Amino acid sequence: MKRSSLTLAEIIQTLCFLIYLFGSSLTLIEHGTELSLWIMFLVVLISISATILPWLGFNWLRIKKQGSQAGQWVSRLLQIASWGSFAFAMLMRLGRNLPRFYLWIVITTLLWAVWLLVFIFSRHIWSQSNGGDKLNRKDSLQKSTEEEGKPS
């Protein structure tokens, strides 16, 4: 199987998710304190920047197209949905509606986890047409059947 390397944008998105996970856990433990809100806000802002800046011409954050394009579109839609649910959670926090705030923070965390998994899965698992499995390749099967027929 071919070993693939992560791009800078993938590393940034993964680190953002881990820091967001810390911030959302801190939010649920400490009932939405200022520190946890700032941590989550800054990480979401970095994630938005890492997604939008390549579209504006910052090539060092650009991710080359590989894998399933449909999977990448699904992950982008889930990513935008997670940003929207985070904005709605912040509105609930601003209105002091804490039970709904907690619910929307959990929904945001789940959406973020799903889009990141779909994103990485669609780029690296579907990146090879045969999935890297040599047993599914025709030339490998033909070679093994030819070797069985030869006398030793």
Domain boundaries, the chain: 8-145
pLDDT tens-digit series, residues 38-47: 999 999 999 9
Percent of the chain past pLDDT 90, that is, above it, reads 41
Mean pLDDT of the region 77-100: 93
Q: What are the CB-based long-range contacts (under 8 Å, 24+) for 138-146?
A: none
Angular region, 131: left φ>0, alpha ψ -120 to 50, beta rest: left
Q: What is the reported pLDDT for 59?
A: 80
User: Is the pTM of the predicted complex or chain greater than 0.85?
Assistant: no
pLDDT score of 12 more than 50: yes
pLDDT band at 104 (very low <50, low <70, confident <90, very high): very high
Q: Which of 137, 112, 110 is nearest to 17 (CA)?
A: 112
The yes-or-no verdict on residue 78 having pLDDT over 90 is yes
**Mean pLDDT calculated for residue range 11-30:** 91
The reported pLDDT for the residue numbered 146 is 55
Residues 111 and 133: their CA atoms lie apart, in Å, by 31
For 87, the token pair is 């904005």
Per-residue pLDDT at 147: 55
Quick one: pLDDT band at residue 1, thresholds 50, 70, 90?
Answer: very low
State which amino acid sits at residue 34: E
Q: Per-residue pLDDT averaged across 14-24, rounded? A: 92
Look at residue 38 in the predicted model and tell me its pLDDT: 94
Q: What is the pLDDT of residues 107-139, one digit of tens each?
A: 999 999 999 888 888 877 765 555 554 444 555
